[in-house]
A and B are shown apart, each in its own frame.
Chain A
Amino acid sequence: TQLLEQSPQFLSIQEGENLTVYCNSSSVFSSLQWYRQEPGEGPVLLVTVVTGGEVKKLKRLTFQFGDARKDSSLHITAAQPGDTGLYLCAGGGDSSYKLIFGSGTRLLVRP
């Protein structure tokens, strides 16, 4: 069974601070997706990474896929209250429509 572990589970930081969220597995994934979920809504895709070592930037968010395609990280620079939410990583195998989701990191950015 493929598992994705996210850490930390919960993070409360002050506006302007930097943070990193980790997504780790012992399994290799063909792709890794990051979603953000706000209360009362479904997850919304932030980014997909598919190549080992790939780095993608989305404004203040930087996503990295591990060289071995077993892990990923999300780094947020100068966090803002609007970044508050649940961040989920999801790994895709050969049958990429059957994603495996991590348990999520709940981020609170205090003004």
Chain B
Amino acid sequence: NAGVTQTPKFRILKIGQSMTLQCTQDMNHNYMYWYRQDPGMGLKLIYYSVGAGITDKGEVPNGYNVSRSTTEDFPLRLELAAPSQTSVYFCASSLINSPLHFGNGTRLTVT
């Protein structure tokens, strides 16, 4: 019962570096999402996908890119890391009109 798995758990980046946050789910869910959670704030939707090959922007997509080549995987790419991207990132998945299943997050610090 792996559910939603995110890697890495922690990462420190220097300004301008790039990285990919990995997310995979084994529940055959159509929908996948990337959220960021800043201290004292709720979750903000970065990107989402309703199925393999389909992605769309959420509330705060600037500075990020995603791809969905398979049902299972939904990586999030940061091309030029900025201090404003310091946050905890959560990947989630769901079936249509069903609750979200979250991973345990990736804590990213950009200095």
Contact = CB atoms under 8 A, between A and B. Distances in A.
Interface residues of A, number: 21
Interface in B38-84: 40-45, 48, 50, 58
Interface stretch (A14-22, A38-46, A53-61): A38-46
Given A40-B105, A42-B92, A96 B97 contact: yes
Interface of B is mostly: strand
Interface string A1-25: 0001010010000000000000000
User: B interface, how many residues as a size bin?
Assistant: 20 to 34
Contacts, number: 50
The 5 lowest CB-CB distance pairs between A and B, nearest first, are A42-B102, A101-B42, A45-B99, A101-B43, A103-B42
A86 to B, nearest CB: 9
Interface of A: 4, 6, 9, 33, 40-45, 48, 88, 90, 96-99, 101-104
